[in-house]
Structure 1
Amino acid sequence: MHNRSLIKRCLWTLLLVLILAAGQQIVLPSIDGLAATQALTKQGGSFLQIFGSVTGGRLTVPALFSLGLSPYMTSMIVWSAVQSWDLPGVSAMSVRAIGMVQRFFTLIIASLQALAMVRTVAPALQPMPLVLGDYSYDMSAWFTGIILVAGAMFTAWLADLNNDKGIGSTVIMIVPGIIINIPGSLQRGWGGVTYALTPQHIAVAAVVAVLFTFCAVWLYKIEVRLPLQRPMLESSYGDSYIPIKLLTAGAMPFMFSTSLFSLPMYVVKGTSLNGTPMGHAIMQWTSYQSWRGLVLYAVVLMLLGYAFGYLNTRPVQTAKSLKYSSDYFYDVAPGDATERFLTHHFFVICTLGNLVEIVIGIVPLLLENVYPGAANFSLFLGNLFIIVTIFDTIMQQFRALRSKYQYQLFA
C-alpha cells in the first residue's frame, strides 16, 4: 500500500514537471521567436536571463511559462519576511487569507517581470492591431504581457498542486529549468568571455561538478545542535535539541545575489547614466572583473546569507514558542535571555556559513587570471548548489513519507 502511495506521488510530480517543461517550449504566437531570443541574449546575457538561470525560468525564450516559478518564489520570500515581524494582524490571518495575499504578491511580481520582458523583446513583437472605427491600437504588448502573467500564475498553481499531491514540495518545479540553463550559465558565466563547451571543457566541468557535489552535500548536512530541556515530556525524549545548520540560508543567496548584483549594471546600460562618471563608477563596483566588484559581490552574498538565514531560523519566534511550551536551554532563562542566546548562536553559525558561500562564489572569479574561463564556474557552482539543496529536501520528504506509509497502528 505504501509503495503505491509513493509511486502515485512520484508520478504526479513527473506529470507536473513535464507540463511545466512543455510550457517553457511553447513560443508565444505574438512574438518573432528568433528575434526575441537574440534580443534577450545579446551582449552575453541580460538581467532577466541571469535571474531565470537560478530560479528555473526560461527567460532566454519568450514562451508560455518563461517566467517559471520566480514570481511565486519571490512572493513566498516577501511573505516570509512579513511573517518574521510577528505582527498581530498577520499572525491571526486564516490559511485562506494567507493564500490570497501570497497570490496577490505573485501577481504583482509576475506583472513587473512580464513588463520587463515585454520591453526587452519589443522589436520582436508581431503587430496585433485592434481596429475600432478609424482608431487602431497595437495590442501585441498587452497580449504578450497577459499571457506571461497567466503562465506564471498557472505555474504557481502547478507548484501548489505538487505540494499537495506530489513529492519535493514546490521547489522541485524549478529543477528542470535550472538543469536546462546549466550549459548556458557555464558558457556565459561571469568571465566576460564565452567558455566554449569543447569535450575537454565538458570533462573538466564534469569532474568539478562531481567533486563539488560531494563537498556541498557534506557541508549542507553540518549542523550545530543546541541541547534543549523539555520537562513536560517524561521520557527519553525529554532531552532534545534545536539544530542550526551551518548553511542556514541554504542556496537562497545564490538564487538572488547574481540578479541583485547585476541589476545596477543593466540600469546604467539602459539609461542616460551610461558613459557618465557616475555610470562608470557603478559599472566598476558591479563588475566581476574588478576588485571593487568582487568585494561588493561578497558583501551582497553575506547580507543575503544573514537575511535568508534569519528567515529560516527565526530566533525570536523560536524563543516565544519555547516559552509557551515550557522548554528551555541549560542555564538560560526563558524569554528575552533565550532570544539573545538563539540570536547569538545564529549570527556566529550563519557568519561561518556565509564565509563558505563566499568561497564558492568568489574563488572561481579570483582564479580567472590564472585559469581563463574559471570565472564562469561561479554561476555554474551556484546552480549546482541550488540543485543539491533541493534534492536534499526531496530526500528528507521521501524518507518521511516512506516512514509514514509503513507505520501500522496494529501489527
Structure 2
Amino acid sequence: MKKFIETIKNIWSIEDLRKRILTTLLLVLIYRIGSYIVLPGIDPTALNSFSKTSNQGILGLFNMFAGGSFSRASIFALGIMPYISASIAIQLLTIAVPKFQKLQKEGESGRQKINQYTRVLTVIVTALQASAYVAFLKQQSGGAIIEEYGASMFWLSTTIVLTAGTMFVMWLGEKITDKGIGNGTSIIIMMGILARLPEALLQEFSSKTADGGSGLVFFLVEIAFFIVITIGLILLIQGTRKINVNYAKRIVGNKQYGGVRQFIPLKVNAAGVMPIIFAQAIMFIPATTISFATNAESASGFIRVFSDHTNPIYNVIYGILVIVFTFFYTALIFNPSTMADEMKKNNGFIPGVKPGQATADYIGAVMDRITLPGAFFLAVVGIMPGIAAALNINSNFATFFGGTSLLIMVGVILDTLQQIESQLLMRHYDGLMSSGRIKGRTSPASAQ
C-alpha cells in the first residue's frame, strides 16, 4: 500500500504527466455526457422498445462499442465505429494496393496523406450508416420520433448530426492520443464498455443475494473466476517469444557501429481482438439472413442455434472461426519477409540461420508455433460469455467474462499503464511494478 501511494505521488508530481491524465479524463467526460444527448426529433421517454431491440445480435455489439449511445439514440449513436471501419479498410489497402504501400513508406508525409484518406472515408461510411440508422429508428422506435418534426427534415438533420457526432468523437480520440495518455480511440471504446460494468455487477449481486446466503457464495466464486480469466488475458496479451538477433560490427573511421545483441519480440496474440470481432460478425449473418426468409418455420432450428450463444454447437463453430481468423489476421499484419530484409540491410542475423529467405522462413515458422496456442486460448476467451450465461449468470455480467468486452478492457488498460510507466522511468522514478515492466499490445523491442 505504501508503494502504491508513493507511485501515485510520483505520477502527480510530474507536471506533464499530470496534465495528460487530467486532459484524458476531461475529454472522456465530454464524450460520456454527449452519449446521453438525444437526437433532435426524438422523444427520449418513448425509447424503451428501441433500447431492447438495439441490444440484440450484431446491433448489441455495435451498441457496446458506442458505449450505449446506439440504444439511447444519442448524437454519438454511431460512436467511433465508422472511423475504425475506415481505418481497417485503409490498413488492408496498404497491404494490397501498391500506391498505399508507397505512401506508408514515405514517413511522416505519407502518414498524413493516409490519415486524410481515412478521414474522408470515415465521412462517407458515417453518412451511409446514419441513413441506415434513420431507417432503423423509423421501423423500431415505436413512436419515439416526433411526428411534427417532418420525415424529410428528420432524415436530413439526423444524418448531419450523426456524421458531425462521429467526426467530433474521432477528434476527441486524436486529442487524447496527442495531448492525453494512451490511444484515444481505444480509450473511448474502453470507457464505453467499462461504464456498463458497475450496473452489471449490481444486477448480478442483487439476483444472487435474493436467494440467501448460498447465492452470496456463488457470487464470490464468480468474482474469483472473473479475476482468474482477467489474469489469463493479461498473460496472453503480454506473452512474447523472443528471437535473438546479432548485428555485425562495422568500423567507420574511429567509430564502431553494431556488434550488439538484440531480440525480436513476437507476440503470442498478434491479432488482438480482431478475430473475435470478425467471428461475431460472421455468426450474426445466418440468423439475420434467414430472418428475412419466407419459410421461417422450417429454419427455426437453424435460427435458434445461431441466435443462442449458450448453445454448444454455436460455441464450437464460434471457437473454430476465432482460431481461423487469428491465423488469417496475423498473416495479414505480420510479414516475416519484410523483417528479414530489414535485418539484412542493417547487418543483422539470427544465430544459426542464413540471412534472407531462410530467416523469413524461420521467423514465420516460430510465429505459427506461438500463434496456435494463442489462437486456442483466444477461442476459449471468446466462448466464455456463452458458458457463463449457460451457468445462470446475468447476461449483462456474463459479457465481461471474456469476449470482446474483457479483451478490449484489459488490452487498453495495459497500454495506458505502459505509457504511464514509460513517463516515470524517463524521469528516473520507479516503475508501477517492482517485479517487472508492464508490456502493452505494442511493446517495442528491447535490447538484451
Relative to structure 1, the CA distance from residue 264 to residue 153 in structure 2 (aligned partners, 3 Å threshold; closer, same or farther) is farther
Q: C-alpha separation between the residues in 2 aligned to 1:395 and 1:17?
A: 17
Superposed counterparts of 1:393-404, under 5 Å: 393-404=415-426
Q: C-alpha separation between the residues in 1 aligned to 2:325 and 2:29?
A: 32
Displacement of 1:197: 4.6
Relative to structure 1, the CA distance from residue 187 to residue 232 in structure 2 (aligned partners, 3 Å threshold; closer, same or farther) is farther
Q: C-alpha separation between the residues in 1 aligned to 2:182 and 2:399?
A: 24
Worse overlay, 340-349 or 377-386: 377-386
Aligned to 2:407: 385
**Dislocated runs of 4+, deviation >6 Å:** 183-188, 374-377
- Conservation of the 8 A alpha-carbon contact between 1:360 and 1:378: no
Q: Which runs of 5+ in 1 are unaligned?
A: 131-136, 189-193
2:146 to 110, 115, 126: 126
Q: C-alpha separation between the residues in 1 aligned to 2:426 and 2:268?
A: 28
Relative to structure 1, the CA distance from residue 340 to residue 215 in structure 2 (aligned partners, 3 Å threshold; closer, same or farther) is same
Displacement of 1:377: 6.2
Indicate whether 1:79 and 2:90 are aligned.
Answer: yes
Name the aligned partner's letter for residue 157 of structure 1. Answer: W
| Paired residue secondary structure (2:73) | coil
Displacement of 1:106: 1.9
Q: C-alpha separation between the residues in 1 aligned to 2:100 and 2:190?
A: 35
Q: C-alpha separation between the residues in 1 aligned to 2:95 and 2:68?
A: 27
Name the aligned partner's letter for residue 179 of structure 1. Answer: L
Displacement of 1:349: 1.3
| Paired residue secondary structure (2:353) | coil
2:269 to 236, 247, 250: 247
Name the aligned partner's letter for residue 145 of structure 1. Answer: T
Name the aligned partner's letter for residue 27 of structure 2. Answer: L
Superposed counterparts of 1:231-310, under 5 Å: 231=248, 238-269=260-291, 271-272=292-293, 275=296, 277=298, 281=302, 284-285=305-306, 287-310=308-331
Q: C-alpha separation between the residues in 2 aligned to 1:15 and 1:58?
A: 19
| Paired residue secondary structure (1:58) | coil
Q: Cα deviations across residues 146-186 of structure 1 (Å, max 9, x unaligned)?
A: 21121111111111111111101221121220112346778
Displacement of 1:388: 0.7
How many residue pairs get aligned? The number is: 394
Indicate whether 1:219 and 2:239 are aligned.
Answer: no
Q: C-alpha separation between the residues in 2 aligned to 1:98 and 1:56?
A: 27
Indicate whether 1:98 and 2:114 are aligned.
Answer: yes
Q: C-alpha separation between the residues in 2 aligned to 1:26 and 1:95?
A: 34
Displacement of 1:285: 4.6
- Conservation of the 8 A alpha-carbon contact between 1:52 and 1:58: yes
| Paired residue secondary structure (2:164) | helix
Q: C-alpha separation between the residues in 2 aligned to 1:264 and 1:223?
A: 36
Q: C-alpha separation between the residues in 2 aligned to 1:32 and 1:274?
A: 36
Q: C-alpha separation between the residues in 1 aligned to 2:371 and 2:148?
A: 52
2:368 to 323, 339, 347: 347
Q: C-alpha separation between the residues in 1 aligned to 2:14 and 2:322?
A: 42
Aligned to 2:253: none
| Paired residue secondary structure (1:321) | helix
Aligned to 1:175: 190
Relative to structure 1, the CA distance from residue 237 to residue 282 in structure 2 (aligned partners, 3 Å threshold; closer, same or farther) is farther
Relative to structure 1, the CA distance from residue 347 to residue 263 in structure 2 (aligned partners, 3 Å threshold; closer, same or farther) is same
Indicate whether 1:143 and 2:138 are aligned.
Answer: no
Name the aligned partner's letter for residue 399 of structure 2. Answer: L
Q: Which runs of 5+ in 2 are unaligned?
A: 1-11, 105-109, 210-215, 251-255, 430-448
Query: Whose relative contact order is higher, 1 or 2, with alpha carbons under 8 Å and at least 6 apart?
Result: 1
1:329 to 350, 353, 363: 350
Displacement of 1:334: 2.9
Name the aligned partner's letter for residue 180 of structure 1. Answer: A
TM-score (norm: length of structure 1) = 0.83
Name the Cα RMSD after superposition: 3.3
Name the aligned partner's letter for residue 208 of structure 1. Answer: F
| Paired residue secondary structure (2:265) | strand
Q: C-alpha separation between the residues in 1 aligned to 2:66 and 2:259?
A: 39
Displacement of 1:61: 0.9
Q: C-alpha separation between the residues in 2 aligned to 1:327 and 1:169?
A: 32
Aligned to 1:134: none
| Paired residue secondary structure (2:309) | coil
Identity of aligned residues (%): 26
Aligned to 2:171: 157
Q: Cα deviations across residues 26-49 of structure 1 (Å, max 9, x unaligned)?
A: 111221224334224239624222
TM-score (norm: length of structure 2) = 0.77
Aligned to 2:213: none
Indicate whether 1:28 and 2:42 are aligned.
Answer: no
